Amino acid sequence: MDQELKAYLDEQFGRQGERLERLEERSARQEEEGRQTRVLLEDVRSDIRLIAEGLVGVTERLEAHKGEMNKGFQDVKASIAPAYQDLDRRVQWLEAREERRDRDVLEVIREKFGIPQA
């Protein structure tokens, strides 16, 4: 075999060997980065799971609070209703009184006692 050819092939094999080493190093780095990425993803999944559980808890508490508030509003409405009914009765009485005041006295008396008009 010719010395030049041998030198050429040695040089080519040397370069191929260096390339192969760089590829192996790059492959090792990518494997390590992939492993780190999987670890980080698991952490993110865990965090998301915690957030979801917290959201469920907050939603349950909010629904419970909403129920309590609705019951409280119903209690307030129930306690105010008699006062409004009494006030409405009084306003109607005053309005009727005002109507009677503008009418003829004899007409009001006839109406009250059921006496027909002559």
pLDDT digits (tens, 9 = 90+) for 23-75: 999 999 999 999 999 999 999 999 999 999 999 999 999 999 999 999 999 99
Count of domains for the chain:
1
103 in any annotated domain: yes
Tokens of 29: 């780095």
Q: How confident is the model at residue 118 (pLDDT cuts 50, 70, 90)?
A: low
pTM above threshold 0.75: no
Tell me the C-alpha distance between 92 and 96, whole Å: 6
Judge whether residue 4 has pLDDT over 70.
Answer: yes
Structural domain range at position 37? 3-113
74 in any annotated domain: yes
118 in any annotated domain: no
26 in any annotated domain: yes
pLDDT at 22: 92
